[in-house]
Amino acid sequence: MNEFFNMGGYAVYVWTAYGITAFLLMGLVFGTVLVLKNSEKKLKALEALSPRRRQRQKSSGGEDEKP
Amino acid sequence: MNLSTAPKGNFWHRLANPARFERLARWLTPWFLLGFLGFVSTGLYFGLYASPIDYQQKDTVRIMYVHVPAAWLAMMTYSTLAISGFVFLVWRHPLAEVAGLAAAPIGAVFTALALVTGAIWGQPTWGTWWVWDARLTSVLILFFLFIGYIALRNAFDDPSRAAKSTAILAIVGAVNLPIIKFSVEWWNTLHQPASVSRFDAPAIDPAMLRPLLLMACAYLCLFFFVLIFRMRLELVRRRITALQYAQAGVSDR
C-alpha cells in the first residue's frame, strides 16, 4: 500500500496532478449545479410576482418562452 | 449526441423549444453521470494501479491519464464553440448560441487543467515547469480564447447582440486548433509529437492506451453532464432577464 502512495518517489507530482484535476472538475460540477439551483429559485420568485405570465404558461404548457 | 450540430429536419426544430429541450436534458443527465462514474472508476484503477510504469518516466507517466484527455477535451470544447457559432450565424438556431455560451467555461477549465498538469509533468521529465514551446504556447492562447469569449459575452447587456460577436470570435479563433494539433510537427522543440491520433497505429502500449481512453470517455461524459446543466442555466437566466424587463414595464420583444 505504501508503495502505491509513494509512486516510485514521484508521489508529489502524481498526486498533485490528480488532486488539482479532481478539485477543478468537482468545482466545475458543483459550482454549476449551485448556480443553476439559485437561478431557478430566483426565476420561481419572479414568476410568482407576475400572474399574467403564469397564466399564459399554464395554458400553453410553458412552451412560449422566447428570450 | 451533440446539440450544436445543424438544425436539420424535425428533431432540431423541435429542440429549439426550451421546454422540450429541458425534458430531454433531464432525461439525459443521469446517463452521463452514470457513464462518468463507470469510466472514471475503471480509468483510475488502470491509470493509477493496474498499468505499467514507463521505462524512462517511471510513475510520472500516470500524469498522462489526467493530462492528455484534458487537452483533447479542451480542443473538442473549442470546436463546439466554433460549430455552435457557425450554426447560430447560418441557421439562427437558438440552442446553438446557448450551447456555445454553456461550453466556454467548461473549455476554460479543461485548458487550465491541461496547462497545470502539463507543468507538473514537465518538472520531473523535462526539468522545467514551462517553456515557450509551440505546443504549450498555442494551448495558452486557447485558454485566452475561452476567457476572451466569456469576457466578450459579458461585455454586452443585450444577449442577442453578444451572440453575433461571440460567434465570430469563436469561428476566427478556430484557426488555433490546427496550430495546436500540428505545432509538435511544425516546430520541433520540447513537447513530444502525437502518440495516439496519428495516421498509422498508435505508438503507445495497449496497457497505457486503455486507461488513457477510459479517462477520455470519463471526461467526455463529464463534459456533456456539465454542458446540459449550463445550457439549462443559460435558458433560466434568459427567462429571468425577460421577466425582469416585463416587470419593469419594458417590452421584452
For the packed helices B176-186 and B64-91, what is the interaxial angle rounded to 10 degrees? 140
Check residue B187 and give its pLDDT. 84
Within 10 angstroms of residue B162's Cβ, the number of other Cβ atoms is: 17
Contacts of A33 in chain B (CB under 8 A): 229
Is position B216 within any domain?
Answer: yes
Is position B195 within any domain?
Answer: no
Range of the domain at B139: 18-190+207-247
Q: What is the pLDDT of residues B102-161, one digit of tens each?
A: 999 999 999 999 999 999 999 998 989 999 999 999 999 999 999 999 999 999 877 778
Cα B143 from chain centroid (whole Å): 11
Check residue B56 and give its pLDDT. 83
Q: What is the pLDDT of residues B36-68, one digit of tens each?
A: 999 999 999 998 998 888 888 888 999 999 999
Q: Does A32 touch chain B (CB under 8 A)?
A: yes
**What's the gap in Å between the CA of B48 and the closest CA on chain A?**
8
Is position B62 within any domain?
Answer: yes
- The backbone torsions φ and ψ at residue B128, rounded to the nearest 5 degrees and listed phi first, read -150, 150
Q: Is the pTM of this model over 0.90?
A: no
- The backbone torsions φ and ψ at residue B58, rounded to the nearest 5 degrees and listed phi first, read 55, -135
Torsion angle defined by CA atoms of residues B146, B152, B156 and B158, in that order, rounded to the nearest 10 degrees: -50
Check residue A56 and give its pLDDT. 52
* Contact assignment for A65 to B239 by CB distance below 8 Å: yes
Is position B104 within any domain?
Answer: yes
Q: What is the pLDDT of residues B17-42, one digit of tens each?
A: 878 888 999 999 999 999 999 999 99
Check residue B101 and give its pLDDT. 93
Is position B200 within any domain?
Answer: no
**Structurally, how many domains does chain B consist of?**
1
Q: What is the pLDDT of residues B158-181, one digit of tens each?
A: 777 888 999 999 999 999 999 999
* Contact assignment for B113 to A42 by CB distance below 8 Å: no
Check residue A61 and give its pLDDT. 46
Q: What is the pLDDT of residues B179-218, one digit of tens each?
A: 999 998 888 778 888 888 777 777 888 889 999 999 999 9
CB-nearest to B236 from A32, A39, A50 is A39
Task: Give ipTM to 2 decimals.
Answer: 0.86
Is position B223 within any domain?
Answer: yes
Check residue A62 and give its pLDDT. 45
The span from the CA of A62 to the CA of A60, in Å, is 6
| Residue ranges in chain A modelled with pLDDT below 50 | 53-54, 58-66
Is position B9 within any domain?
Answer: no
Q: Does A62 touch chain B (CB under 8 A)?
A: yes
- Once rounded to an integer, what is the mean pLDDT over residues B70-87? 96
Q: Which SS3 state, helix, strand or coil, does residue B60 take?
A: helix
The torsion region of residue B205 among left (phi > 0), alpha (psi -120 to 50) and beta comes to beta
